[in-house]
Structures are given as structure tokens and as C-alpha cells.
Structure 1
Amino acid sequence: MITPRATYRLQLNKDFTFADALALVPYLEELGVSHAYLSPILKARAGSTHGYDTVDHTQLNPELGTMAEFRALADALHQRGMGVLLDFVPNHVGVGGSENPIWLDLLKHGQASRYAEWFDVDWSAGRPGATGKVLVPFLGSTYAEALAAGQIRLKSDGEDGFAVWVYDNDKLPVRPEDAAALVEQYGSADAAVTAHTGHEGDFASWGALDRLIASQHWRLVHFGAGGDEMNYRRFFVNSELAGIRIDRDEVFEHAHRLVFELIAEVLVDGLRIDHIDGLLDPKRYLEQLRARSPRPIWLLIEKILAPHEQLRPDWPVDGTTGYEAGAELIRLVTRAEAEPALTAAYADFVGEVTEPDQEEYRTKLRVMDNELAAELESLAKRFAALAWSVPETRDLTELQMRRVLRETVAHLSVYRTYADGEGVSSRDRREIGRALALARRTQPQVQPIAFDFVERVLCGTLEGGYDPEALRLARGRFQQYSGPVMAKGLEDTTLYRYNRLVSLNDVGAHPDRFSLSIAAFHDSNRRRLVTHPSCMIATSTHDTKRGEDVRAFIAAIADEPELWGEAVNRWRQRLSPAADAVHPNDLYLLFQLLVGGWPVGDVGDEFAQRLKDAMMKSVREARERSDWGVNNTGYEEQVFGLIDALLGDARFLEDFHPVRERIQAVGRRKALVQAALKLTIPGVPDIYRGGEDWEQSFVDPDNRRPVDFARLKERLASPEKNRDEKIVLTRTLLRLRCRLPEVFSAGSYEPIDAGEDIIAFRRSHGDKSVVVIADLSRGHSTMLPQLADLPTAFGSTGGPVWVLASA
């Protein structure tokens, strides 16, 4: 295994292939990274821009290139002493479409499919007379409307019989016995298709097809029915990503066969495991992965830790993908004393504000009552069936189970707990105990025995004649359910509702944690060095809601709270009446995005559309004035109209730009501090595609738009022209990591007391050391020149950061 030094994340798709990545290798070497960190490369749905919708684990994605092209990329990296980190998805696969053979076999054969146990399908769920079917919520209209419109059609599937196609996109195979009967009745495939084809606009003419569909192993419905009647485990609320049983040995072997071949061939040096919390037993999976890997690899997991939570010490991993480090860095550069003023300014602008913890509680209840309602019902049925299996708890009801489980999940402060075959940890018992205590308080009308039963199940203290397997699965399904609720409630709703300072609202963070002290930052770094020194350190990812420099610029608002408070009120008045049509909370967010996202370089023609797309997603995720399921396009158009109005209003821009420039000037210093610390604290820093320069992306898919690598190469080739720019700082520190690898991979971490608003530390290994000094004050500290005169000084990055090396 090549010891990781720094990674560079690349988003592969049909427009950026293995060949494109190969052409970039010399640039990555010059920049100073050690690993190309690739988004998923296994075959995904056609046109996928992210690769997380794997449809075939046995082959590479043909849209990315051939095996020979992948080998050429890996070989080019290895020839330069570099390696490959691969993003891998064990939790789910892409379904729908026509490309996943395992999913199609499930639909065709139902419970008789050889893959029936590979998916988490609740075959007992469904309406009376409709059990034993897989729900397929892929329609954009009602079933009757789609059928009458001719959007659902029978087609011949050649030797495989027949299939029903929806929108000429989603393939739904017909049962073999029905296919045989059609051939027997009509003699040929063409005749059978003709007999089942009606006239557009005439529902009755499609009766034969309707009757054929009714007998299948699947049930086709409008996408809105998924939240209420879904009967297979999904990735969060995405019905086109179905969970798989990676805990089953045959599924594990199938899913990892090609990846293990790539590892054995020394084409892949490490894995980043996506969504570890979706698995039934994460620890067992990781142990199995370590044991089955053909050779040692660098192993990271995507794990979102609560602010008070630490990565499990008994998991055989090198660390997380670093969301928590990114959250700490942005809070470190956010001025603590500004919290009261900004809290007051926010409330003054928007009116009554719900505190983040209460907002999180409400939104988690909301998602359980809507998008994840079917999963909650299934969980309640499972707990009720367990209770009914012995006389002592037979009086408990399914409704009681639903109420207790719903309230407990809503109060859980971590994404999930990890009870397994080895028992329940004391930490998990505390989390469960706290959540249940709050649930008992908010639901006093529920019988205590119901809470007692759930607590004993979750804490592993239930005794009696209960089926151990049923008990294990009930606890496991609870743990798999709480993560999606937290993700959709906190990440994808609360973080779009509480807009006090949105630089603090990102994956792995909590908006009520305003700042981080220098002492706490030192403590975290020392702890990481001891527990997971090869953990990834990330400030921008494909999941972050705003690029790292957008966040740094917005964080600078805390340095100018009075200026900000006066400006936003003045801007609202100037933009009336267009601004009056937009809710104050959305308007407050828009003003922050303008300040943080206004490009450092050329604005470009696309900025207005990027801003509109970001606001549309934000409004829909907040689920207050629009939604993904039911779009309030009228309100969204009012937001878009305001964006057009303000960008075209010379008087507004004349007022806006001086404020923006003042805040961004401070923000640029914060961004440089953030980047420098990421590259020098314990851990392996990751550069998100283009993030070596100013990274001002909004939420995805904006952060997957093409990167102008030609421009980056030019800038990197002329450091004298970009002396104070982020790209020069990044390259300088990455090259320093190349020159002194042991200092950063195994060196000590020693805090240096440099006074208030100065963070300083030393990394040492043998006779080599690096001193890092960063100025967190509003202006340049008078102490920095004195500290920079140390006789061991090798060089510095300049600006608000000094890095002094001795060797």
C-alpha cells in the first residue's frame, strides 16, 4: 500500500472519463497530491453524473472508459509514486431503467427470484390482495392517466418474453407464465403486443394491458405513493436506489468481486466506503472487507459524526472522509463574540425563529409522517410482531410501537446506534436512554410498558422466549431507519430552514454550534493523531452544501455583524416590491449566497442561473414554501424574478459591492487559513476537484459542473503572478508534504501558545519540524512578524499564515 499523503477528488462521468483523468496526472503530480480519489467507477445508470446508482457490480462503467484505459490511469499514477482511492457503494444499487439484471430478475420472478433475498423487500406489505408485490413508484402521473396516455406499453423482450415499458425508460418484465400464455394465445409476439395496445386518451381501450399488469410481481404507482406504501429499503427517500443485503455472504462476494480484482492487480490502493450507516452491521462488514481484501488497503468510511460523537475505536478503518474536520475548521475561523449580534440580526430580519434543536425535532417528525412513513409502519409491525410472540408483551399494540419508535427516533442525537452480535455499548445505551427519556416526556399518554419494551429491545436486555433472529432484525432495522430520518430531517431540511449564518450549515455540522476555540481545535487534532492519524481531512466534497470558500466568505459576516445587519435591511428596502414577494428567511439566505458566492474572478453569464438553481433547491429542501413532491413554481418564479431584478439593479449593486468586498476581503484571509490548516494538521488532506483555487460552488449539482483545468494549469505555472492566491498556498504546502512526509504522517502535534487570536503548532519527527502560525484576528496581528523571525525558518506562505520548516 502506498502511504497516503494527500488526495485529489475527481468526479467521473461521460464528460470526464478515465482518459481525461489520465491527461491530468502530470498536473496532479506537480500540485503535490499522492492519490487520485475517484468517484464510483462500476457500471451506473446511463448518463449518471455521480456514479452512486450502480446497476452492475461485475463491470466498469462503459461511459467512463475501458479496463485498458483504467489500467493506463492507474499505471501512470503508480509510475509517479501515486495511487488510486476508489469510492465504493455497498448499501444500494440503481433500480428503474433497464440496466440492472438483478433488479429485473426480481421483478420478473418475485419471491421465486434467486435474488429475492438480496433486497430488503417486505413481501407481506401492501393493500389487500396486493401483497407479494414489489412497489414500483416511478410514474409522474397517476397510473390511470399514464395508461390512458399510452405511456405504459407492452413490448416484446425477444427470447426473454415480454416486458412493460414506462415512458420508454423503465423496464418491468412480465412473469414467465404470462409471457408463455401470451405466445400460446396470440401465436406471435407482434400479435400479443397489438392486442394489448389501446388508443391514446381512451382508458378503456387499454383494459387488456391493465389486466396483464395486475397479475405481475410488481405494482406500478405514482412516485408520491412511495412514501406511504414503499416496501423495499431505499437510500433515504430515493426510490431509484434500492438497498441490498450486503450482510449476506453471496451478495458481498458478488458486489466486491471486481473491486477485489482491481486491488489484487495493484490498480486500486484504497477504498472510500459510501454510507456505512445504511448497512445492517457496519462493523461486521468492515471486518469482512479487511479479511477478504487481497492486500492491505487504505480504508475510509463516509460516517457523519454528531458534534459530541467519536468514531468507533473497534472499527478496522483508517478514519472517516473528514466531514467533522471541515466543520471544526469553519467554526475555528468564525468569531465567537459575534453570535449574539448575528442571532439578533437574524430574528430582526425574519421574525420569530425556531431554535435549531426544536427545528430538527419537528423536521424529523415531519419526514417520518411523510417521505419515510412506510418505513416507520414496517418497523412498527416488526416490533409489534416481536411483542406478540410471547404472552408477557402480547397486549402491546402496533400503534403504541409506532408512537414510541417515532418519538424515540425524533429525539436521537446521533445518526444511529450499533448494537450487534457482540452486544450494545455503554455509549449506545446512553444515546438510547436519553432519546427514550425525552420520548416518555413528550408522549406521557403512551403506556410506560411500551417504552420499556422498546428500550429493552434496543439495549439488548429483553429476556424471555423471543426469537433471537426476530429480535436481531428488529434492532437492526431500527438502526437502519434512524440514519435516513436524521439525514432528511437535519441535513436536508433543518439546515435549509435555520439561516442565521449558513456557513455553519453543512454535512457533519450543527447550526447551533457557532464557533470553536483554539484550545478545542488543538484537542481535536491531538486526539485524531492518536486514534486515526490517516483520517481524511475534507473541506469541500460532492455532498457539501456550499464550497469551502463560499463558507469562509460567509463566515466573515461574523467579523462585521453591525455592517451586515444594517446592509440586509437596507437591501430589502431597495429591492422592494420584488423582495416583498419573497419570504424573509429565503431573502436572508439569498443575501448570504450573494456575498459568499459572488465569484472572485469573472462573474460570467452563468452566475444568475447557478444562483437560481441553488435557491430553488434550498426552498424545496426547506419544504415550507415549495417541495420536491409538490412544486410551488409560482413562489419559485418570484424568487427567480428577484434574482434577475437585483442583478440588473445598478443602485442595488452600487450599495452591495462595497459591503461584499469588505466582507470578502476578510473571508479570503479566512479561506487561506482554512486551507493551510487542512494541509498541515494530523490527517490526510483532500482537495476537491478545483478546490486548490477559489472553490465557490453552491449545492450539487453545481459542485459537479466542469472544472477549467487548463486555466488551473496556467495559474499553477505562474506562481509569481498569483503570489497571494489560494492555489499557490495549496501547491506550496502540498510540496512541503512531499519533502517532509514523515513530519505530516507520523510527526507530533505540539500546540504553541502565541496569544489571543493566533493559532500555532509544531509538527516534529526526528530532526525535522514544521511550525504553523495562523492569524485569526480581524487584521494582521503584530505578533506574526516576530514569530516569523524564528531562526529555523525555511519559508512562509505569507498573508495570514506562516509555515516555517526546518530540516
Structure 2
Amino acid sequence: MKPVSGAHRTAPPSSTYRLQLGPSATFSDAAGLVDYLSALGVGALYSSPVLQAAPGSTHGYDVVDPTRASAELGGEEGLRELAVRLRERGVGLVVDLVPNHMGVAEASANPWWWDVLRHGPDSPYARFFDIDWDRGPLLLPVLPDEGDDGAKALAELVVEEDCLVSAGRRFPLAPASGEGDPQAVHERQHYRLVSWRRGNTELNYRRFFDIAELAAVRVEDPEVFAATHRAVLRWVTEGWITGLRVDHPDGLADPGGYLRQLREAAPGVWLVVEKILGADESLPASWPVDGSTGYDALRETCGVFLDPAGESALTELSTVECGSWDPRGVARECRRMVGERLLRAEVRRIAALVPAPDQNRLEQAVIELLASFPVYRSYLPEGRDAFDEAVATARSARPDLSAEIDAVAGRVLARPDGELATRLQQTSGMVMAKGVEDTAFYRCPRLLALNEVGGDPARFGVSVEEFHRRAATRAAGWPATMTALSTHDTKRSEDVRARLAVLSEVADEFGAAVRKWSARCALPEPTLNLLAWQTLVGAWPIEIGRLRAYLAKAAREAKLRTGWTDPDPDFDAAVAAWPQAVHADEDLLAEVAAFAGRIREPGWSNALGQKLAQLVGPGVPDVYQGTELWDLSLVDPDNRRPVDFGLRRILLRRLDSGWLPPVDGSGAVKLHVTATALRLRRNRAECFQGYRPLWSEGLASNHCLAFARGRHAELVVVATRLPVGLARAGGWRDTVLPLPGGGRWTNLLTRRPVTDSFAPMADLLAQYPVALLLREET
């Protein structure tokens, strides 16, 4: 097979477009979209994983064979044809890389795992997986459990064709071990099939979070790195792949070491990491990467469109409806619960590395320490401050465990590159993600626009000053980092958040509406009830089935009245019935529709503002599939619904004929903003250097977000903030925006000249709530 001709480019892409590959979006389907993406102005197609995933996988993160391209997606030939097509149109290819784990749900689909099950520690692949063989046979939590710890399932084991079979699932037999009673055969294996309930407490292999079907890989081993990356690195060398996005680096034993090894193996690619950064956290300076995948930028870009004046009313609503408002306390409680219940197996493996007379107390100390980290992970020795803060917080919370906490901390600091330090840091990120993103975010419904990956429900938005400060820092320090508004992991789409941001401007009105609506049709759990009403108006109009599926997931993630492993059938039934009950009450439904209608247009204004700010701001902007039009998706799998690219092609052609779309429900204006900004990024890279805050002057100056880009500040972004308050105050009135450097400007969105160096905001934003100005060349 011939490589793609020509040397692959090494410069960061001007932008990326995220496409979720899967059964309905193969390499061939992606190739069919290349002309559209090129016309849109996209710099690189950014795909989900392309390696061979588990049978029927809809997302590709459960890779079972990293040595080959996914057959379901079209195999290596399909990948090559996609790469050729992209190259012909000048578009790069960025691929999601999953170094932390592999899929093992269907053992026979993963040849390495299958060999480990058959040969145990003697398998050449035994070292590939993070297995604690000192604790005996490999525990596989796969058996159904009818309250008997899997005893019935064990009694029904059968031996067929050199395999042990349980409920249709097949597991290999060790050589010469298949004679006799199936239960006796089972006892001869290098593994033990156990109840699925034991996975969170007794597992002796590391997982991805609490998912036993994803077994962690020891990619820090050079042999494992070479085997798992051979295919991808070959495609990089041949020029098929121009960028890599590394999934979940915090799960690795040595993230920095891994990234240095990857950079050495692929020196020419654009390299970003899926690293969740806290509001006051930055990437480790020693990582040889171009940046993160942009959740920090997401928090800032969405947060600047929130009205801080609404904080007290929304806090009161949440307090009255749901109880005391303490998001930091809730998050800590949830992290502790995750360590206690979901990740107890990992806790025990950590505690076993510290000699102690009372192992239970030591496990409690480990749980408290894991729950106390201020960040997802400390990177010792660089992250010593974060580690010290975790130790101090844990000791303050549990003074009775101070001796045990100190024992753990002392051993960690004595050997920051040792196994104890490594496992503690690997697990802290898991505790944070499962405790905060997947639990606390569903228990803190003050304003759901804040409850996003990388966000903080306790921080009510971002000031204009903070937005400018952080954008300038990004331009200076991380100019090639990715920025995002929606991803496959976000809890709700950018346009849902933009509409929910309007609630901060109508907080009293929303509070009154919720109390009235709840009196007619409330869910039986207060936090889910407040979450449900926000979801309804934020994603309105939403089909009953989509809302029902979302609320079922939200209720289980919150783990208050039901859960994934311990469901409450009566509560689940009440949640499932709620969407239909709301729709059946015609008066109630009319009120909800009317309220959603009142915040719809301000939500559009916010959506256009945050979109333009992201697309033109510092970094490499990513557009999640379909979000070039209005997209009111909720959490996965809702955000993986098919995208109507035919409609988008039609609208883009209309735009190219000179049509200036209205701001309406079609979303064509968002496509107009997106295409204009992406094409400019691709064609005029010099306009996207540096960053300069701009400040409007006049009575409504607080409602303007503006900044300049370019060597000579030749590109200016203008966006409307807090549109409801702006309208209440009488509009822009005397407000003007001083433009930098003088000269004549063109508003690329309206195609109209701007000649006044003190541009009246009322004129500048007469047609659209955003403007993109380019100084004419002299």
C-alpha cells in the first residue's frame, strides 16, 4: 500500500471538526463529507478512535486490537482513502488515541486478553495489562447475580470447544485443563468468573474508572508502547495522520513520560491531551504538547455570558427547593462515596502498599486523601503543592486518621516515582471524574450551564476582565491549544448552555415559574426536579423519549434515589412517567412553551456570541459535529444522534450565493458565523496572532465583549452580553466601540463598511448580535 504522497504538514490546523465515527459514520462516509468540510473552512477532520474496537462499538474507545484499523469503519484501505481525500482538499486528519485501556467485554475479540486468560502470567501479553498476579487468579466480574453471589451462574457453567461458557460468554481454557466437571475445570484456570457486584471491591486488574469491561494497559512499558502505537505511528509517518488527541492521560502511570515518548516518535504532529484543568490550573510545563482539548476555554467562553446579578436568586431557589447550597461539600461527599463504593478495589490495592496494623483504617485514610485533591491529579514532583494541599485537607477532615494519612503521604514523597505514588495519582483523577462530573454535577442544579466538564458549579460565571486575562495568557503561552464549546463528553451542548445562561438574567421569573410548575407536576426528588425543569426549557422543544432517557441517566448518575447498580423500580417508573405527564397537562405545557419562547432569542444571541468568541479567539477551535447549526443535544448518547449534513450543504450553498440569513430557528446564521470565521482562519493566519482586549464606552458598555487579533490588531470580534438586561435598559443608546489603529473596516458578517473609528454599537449590531470586523488593507 502506497503512502499518501507528499510530506505531512507539521503546523497546527487552523481549526478542527469533530466527527464521531461508528456504524453510521464510516471512513467512507467521512470521505463523502470532505468537500463540505473544506467548503466550511475546516482545517482538519478530528475523528474518534480509528483502531479496531469491540464488536458493535458505537464510539470506538473500547479498542480490542491496536495493530489494525477498524474493519467496521472500512479497514486500512478505507482509512487511506479518507486520508487521500482530505489531502487533496488541504484538510488534515486528527485522530483520537486511547493509550490507557483496551476493551475486554468480549474476550475473544481481544487477542491479547484472550491469550492472558489462557496462559495467565506466562502469556507474553501478561505484562501488557496492569494485573496484580500476587493476589491470585484474575477476577472477572461477569456473572449474573440473583442475590447468591453468582452461585447459580457458576452451577450452570459448561465446557464447549476448549472454552468455558457462561450465559453465552466464552472464556478460553488453559492447555490440557478441560477434562471433568465444569466447576472443576473453572478452578484450574488462570481466572475466576465472579459476580458482577464484586467488580468494585475485589478486582485485581486496573480498569478505566469503574468499567470492568475496559482493562488498563501498562503503556509505560516500552514494549507495550511499541505494540499499541505501531499502526498509528506508521500512519503518521506515511502522512495519513497530522494530529493526535490523547484520551485520559491522567490514567497513565507517567503521563509526562508517555507524552515525551510519543512526541519523540511523532515529532511532526499536532499533539493535544484530554486534560481537565481546574479554573486556576495549567498544564505541566514539562509536557511536550501543544495544549489541552479546551475545557478550560469552554468554561471561560460560556461563563462570560452569565449575569452575576442572578446568582442570589438562583441560589435561593436551589436552597429552598433542594436544601442547603454547598457545592464544594457535595463534591467532596461524592468523591468520598466513589472511593468507598465504586473504586474500593483500587483503594485496597493502594493501601496494600503501606504496612499497617489496621488495614481498614489505612483504606479509610486513602479514601480521605483521594477525596481531598484540589485537582484531578498531582504530577509529582511538579505537583507537590496540590499533593500537600490534599494531605492537609484530609488531615483536617479526619484528624482521627492523621497518623495513617501521614504514613501514606510520607511514603509517597519518599519515592514520588514509586508504585504507591503512581497508583495514588492514577486513582485521584478517577475519583474526581466519577465523584464530580458524574455525580455532584447531577446533585447541584442551581444553574446547569455551570455544571460542565472543567467547570465549577460554585463559581457563578466569568467576568469580562477574567475572560480577557485568560485569553491573553492562552495567546501568549498556548497559542496552538485546542478550544471547545461542545464535545462528545459535555453534559449538554453549547446552545443549551447558551439558553440556560439567560436564566441568570430572569432568575426571579424562572424561580416563580418552577414553583408553580412543580405544584402541578413535580418529580419525587427535589434536585432532579429542578434539573428537569431547566433541561426542559434549555432543550425545548424536546421529544418525550429523549427527555425520558436523559432523566433516567441523570437520576442514576446522581445516585440519590436510584443508581446503575442498585435501582429503585418505583422511583425509576415515576421518573419515566414525568415527561408524558408534563405533556399531558395542556395548560402546564403551554406555560413551559411560553417561557422557553421568551428565552429563545436571548439564547440565540448568547450562542452566537460564544461561538464567534471561540472561533476567533486564541487557540485552535474545534467544532463538534452538527453544531454549526443550532444544536440542543444533551449528554451522551443524545449528542451522538445523526447529523443532517444534506441540510447543511444546502444552507452553505445559499450563504455562498450572497444570502444574509435572519436570526431564526433555522440556525443558518450560526452556520454563517461559523463558515465566515473558519474560512478566515484558514486563509488569513496572520490575523490570528496575539490578543488585545477592547472596551466599549457608554451607558451599555457592560453588555459588550470585544477583542482584537492580528499583528496590527486588524481583526475585531464584537459580541453582545446579557441581552435581556440590554433590552430592558433601552438598548445600546450612546455606547460606542473605539476601534484600534484607525482606517476603514468591513463587517464580514453583514458585508458592510465601518468607517467611524468610534463605532456606534447600535449600528454595528443592528442586524446581528455579533460582528466580525476586518481592517481593509492599505
Equivalent of 1:556, from 477, 502, 507? 502
Structure 2 partner of 1:457: 411
Equivalent of 2:661, from 709, 715, 722? 722
Alignment-mate amino acid for residue 775 of structure 1: T
Contact kept, 8 Å, 2:12 with 2:480, in 1: the verdict is: no
Whole-angstrom CA distance in 2 between matches of 1:2 and 1:18: 24
* Distance change >3 Å, CA 153–CA 710, structure 1 → 2: farther
Alignment-mate amino acid for residue 385 of structure 2: R
Whole-angstrom CA distance in 2 between matches of 1:642 and 1:529: 47
Equivalent of 2:277, from 269, 293, 305? 305
Structure 2 partner of 1:388: none
Q: Deviations over 1:485-522 (max 9, x none)?
A: 11111110000111111111011111111111111111
Equivalent of 1:292, from 243, 265, 270? 265
Whole-angstrom CA distance in 1 between matches of 2:629 and 2:73: 26
* Distance change >3 Å, CA 331–CA 223, structure 1 → 2: same
- Superposed counterparts of 1:263-274, under 5 Å: 263-274=236-247
Equivalent of 1:220, from 193, 199, 202? 193
- Superposed counterparts of 1:253-652, under 5 Å: 253-293=226-266, 295-350=267-322, 352-384=323-355, 397-419=358-380, 424-425=381-382, 428-446=383-401, 448=403, 450-458=404-412, 460=413, 462=414, 472-575=418-521, 579=522, 582-599=524-541, 607-652=543-588
Gaps of 5+ in 1: 126-131, 157-161, 183-195, 197-207, 385-394, 463-467
SS at match of 2:102: strand
Query: Between Structure 1 and Structure 2, how many residues are aligned?
Result: 727
Q: Over the residues paired in the alignment, what is the CA RMSD in angstroms? A: 1.8
Alignment-mate amino acid for residue 163 of structure 2: A
Whole-angstrom CA distance in 2 between matches of 1:689 and 1:742: 27
Gaps of 5+ in 2: 1-9, 664-668, 750-766
Contact kept, 8 Å, 2:319 with 2:325, in 1: the verdict is: no
* Distance change >3 Å, CA 701–CA 771, structure 1 → 2: same
* Distance change >3 Å, CA 382–CA 354, structure 1 → 2: farther
Contact kept, 8 Å, 2:615 with 2:678, in 1: the verdict is: yes
User: Aligned-pair distance for 1:147?
Assistant: 4.2
- Superposed counterparts of 1:734-745, under 5 Å: 734-744=678-688
SS at match of 1:271: strand
Alignment-mate amino acid for residue 491 of structure 2: K
Report whether the alignment pairs 1:690 with 2:626.
Answer: yes
User: Aligned-pair distance for 1:374?
Assistant: 1.2
Contact kept, 8 Å, 2:150 with 2:195, in 1: the verdict is: yes
Contact kept, 8 Å, 2:693 with 2:707, in 1: the verdict is: yes
* Distance change >3 Å, CA 751–CA 783, structure 1 → 2: farther
Structure 2 partner of 1:177: 176
Alignment-mate amino acid for residue 338 of structure 2: V
Structure 2 partner of 1:117: 127
* Distance change >3 Å, CA 784–CA 261, structure 1 → 2: farther
Report whether the alignment pairs 1:772 with 2:743.
Answer: no
Alignment-mate amino acid for residue 653 of structure 1: L
Equivalent of 2:159, from 149, 154, 160? 154
User: Aligned-pair distance for 1:411?
Assistant: 1.1
Larger mean CA deviation between 614-623 and 735-744 belongs to 735-744
Whole-angstrom CA distance in 1 between matches of 2:231 and 2:164: 32
Contact kept, 8 Å, 2:295 with 2:453, in 1: the verdict is: yes
Alignment-mate amino acid for residue 591 of structure 1: W
Q: Deviations over 1:358-402 (max 9, x none)?
A: 111111111111110111011001122xxxxxxxxxx66434432
SS at match of 2:94: strand
- Superposed counterparts of 1:161-200, under 5 Å: 162-168=162-168, 170-179=169-178, 182=179
Whole-angstrom CA distance in 2 between matches of 1:167 and 1:65: 31
Whole-angstrom CA distance in 2 between matches of 1:323 and 1:518: 18
User: Aligned-pair distance for 1:167?
Assistant: 2.9
SS at match of 1:552: helix
Whole-angstrom CA distance in 2 between matches of 1:369 and 1:319: 33
Report whether the alignment pairs 1:749 with 2:691.
Answer: yes
Larger mean CA deviation between 781-790 and 31-40 belongs to 781-790
SS at match of 2:244: strand
Whole-angstrom CA distance in 1 between matches of 2:515 and 2:456: 26
Q: Deviations over 1:385-440 (max 9, x none)?
A: xxxxxxxxxx6643443232221111111111112xxxx12xx2221222211222
Whole-angstrom CA distance in 1 between matches of 2:629 and 2:127: 47
Whole-angstrom CA distance in 2 between matches of 1:633 and 1:792: 66
SS at match of 1:245: coil
User: Aligned-pair distance for 1:153?
Assistant: 3.0
Contact kept, 8 Å, 1:2 with 1:83, in 2: the verdict is: no
Whole-angstrom CA distance in 1 between matches of 2:242 and 2:436: 34
- TM-score, normalised to structure 2, is 0.91
* Distance change >3 Å, CA 783–CA 230, structure 1 → 2: farther
Whole-angstrom CA distance in 2 between matches of 1:437 and 1:376: 19
Contact kept, 8 Å, 1:331 with 1:514, in 2: the verdict is: yes
Whole-angstrom CA distance in 2 between matches of 1:55 and 1:154: 25
Alignment-mate amino acid for residue 674 of structure 2: T
Report whether the alignment pairs 1:801 with 2:773.
Answer: no
SS at match of 1:544: coil
Larger mean CA deviation between 474-483 and 68-77 belongs to 68-77
* Distance change >3 Å, CA 60–CA 566, structure 1 → 2: same
Whole-angstrom CA distance in 2 between matches of 1:733 and 1:56: 39
* Distance change >3 Å, CA 783–CA 116, structure 1 → 2: farther
User: Aligned-pair distance for 1:618?
Assistant: 0.3
Alignment-mate amino acid for residue 686 of structure 2: E
* Distance change >3 Å, CA 139–CA 354, structure 1 → 2: farther
Whole-angstrom CA distance in 2 between matches of 1:447 and 1:278: 27
Q: Deviations over 1:519-544 (max 9, x none)?
A: 11111111111211011111111100
Whole-angstrom CA distance in 1 between matches of 2:527 and 2:662: 39
SS at match of 1:261: helix
Whole-angstrom CA distance in 2 between matches of 1:660 and 1:714: 28
Alignment-mate amino acid for residue 801 of structure 1: V
Alignment-mate amino acid for residue 121 of structure 2: Q
Contact kept, 8 Å, 1:529 with 1:683, in 2: the verdict is: yes
Whole-angstrom CA distance in 1 between matches of 2:361 and 2:586: 60
User: Aligned-pair distance for 1:109?
Assistant: 1.0
SS at match of 2:418: helix
Q: Deviations over 1:719-755 (max 9, x none)?
A: 33734321111112112222322222xx121111213
Contact kept, 8 Å, 2:540 with 2:593, in 1: the verdict is: no
Structure 2 partner of 1:701: 637
Alignment-mate amino acid for residue 501 of structure 1: L
Alignment-mate amino acid for residue 597 of structure 1: A
SS at match of 2:164: strand
SS at match of 1:765: coil
User: Aligned-pair distance for 1:573?
Assistant: 2.0
Equivalent of 2:615, from 673, 679, 696? 679
Whole-angstrom CA distance in 2 between matches of 1:648 and 1:731: 41
User: Aligned-pair distance for 1:757?
Assistant: 2.5
SS at match of 1:176: coil
